Amino acid sequence: MPQLVLLPGKDRLLARRHPWIFAGSVDRLHGRARPGDTVEVVAANGRPLAKAAWSPQSSIRARVWSVDPEEVIDDAFFKRQVQAAVDRRRSLTELRLQQGLRLINGESDGLPGLLADRYGDTVVIQLTAAGADKWRAAIVNAIQRATGCARIYERSDSEVRRLEGLAPVTGWRLGEAPTDTLTIVEHGIRMQVDIVAGHKTGFYLDQRENRLLTRELAEGRSTLNCFCYTGGFSLQALAGGASQVLSIDSSAPALATAVANLALNPQLDSSRAEWHDADVFSELRTMYSAGRRFELIILDPPKFAPSAAHVEQAARAYRDINLFAFRLLAAGGLLMTYSCSGGIERSFFQQIVAEAAVAAGRGARVIRRLGAPADHPVALNFPEGDYLKGLLCQVD
């Protein structure tokens, strides 16, 4: 087996069980390894440390499968790891009845580069690293064995694959497309899921519990949902008794799905829903100039900072939208504001929101800090997995 030799002193991060080995930690590779091949990671003195997947084109040169240097990385390894991830979720009462659920959360489930989301009897996988890509067949078999699912679809089309030197890959790995539109029920609300062309794996499962919180907060409140996508927050606000819900997104197809989702839920009062196909940044300014005010505002923007190189630009965008959200809030109003950018840490995000409140001339306080639900665990040895950050704020 090829050996990945680390530079002196560069094994400290691995000693803390961090699953990434960066290019700057690597001395040399003994032997030949193709992208995704398993390599033995050794210290500068030759001491075996781990087994990892080799990725020569990425700044993350290797992703650790196991810190046990004796571990055999084979089909049986993936069966054990996938089964363990599924069992962890089955052990949590709050997750057992969810139709939409993250089954495998990459590094935090000991499977770097692998995401798997379940929608009813369909599982969508996303392979974002060379190692996971190499073990595609083993992963598919392990998921089918652990879940008994009827269908597995692959959505390995994220931009991060380019950094691994991997081309986009999509298609059915088990079964075939269902004849009916795929729908799930989340907290009593029916939602369509487009696993082929929708964002991520088709739906934002990481916001499930925050959507429920929106429902609990919305009663009697005029509500603005920015970057609404297919209307998850909007429909929960309507279910909670919001007096009105204005939803904004720049994607006409997403808004069309949102309107269709509302029609799937006839118990909701559609006369209270308004949909705008518009740029959120310009729309916020227009509404402020027009004197509109809201009692609950939701800001759930896309990933403004996909990498550290985009942090400064992303910070300006977050400040901008939060500034106008604070200006648009009525006295005593609530702001639910989020960042899914891995490059924006929690403390920095709160600083950005605080600066926006000051610039808007509003006093505000954090009522609750928000994040992803229990099916999106964050391993203690992998703080980078804590990507979704949210604040519930109330203004004076």
Residue 76, class by beta-carbon neighbours within 10 Å (0-12 exposed, 13-18 middle, 19+ buried)?
exposed
DSSP 291: T
Does an H or E element contain 102, and which?
A: strand 100-105
Alpha-carbon separation of residue 45 from 4, 7, 11, 124, 196 (angstroms): 12, 9, 11, 42, 48
**Choice among 149, 226, 228, 340 that is catalytic:** 340
Please say if 226 is a catalytic residue. no
DSSP 23: G
> Closest Cα to residue 299, out of 322, 329, 323, 274?
322
* Residue labelled with tokens 């604070």: 326
> Closest Cα to residue 135, out of 63, 37, 57?
37
**Collapsing DSSP states into helix, strand and coil, what is residue 48?**
strand
| Rounded distance between C-alpha atoms, residue 379 and residue 270, angstroms | 41
| Mode of pairing for the β-strands spanning 329-339 and 389-395 | antiparallel
Active site residues: 340
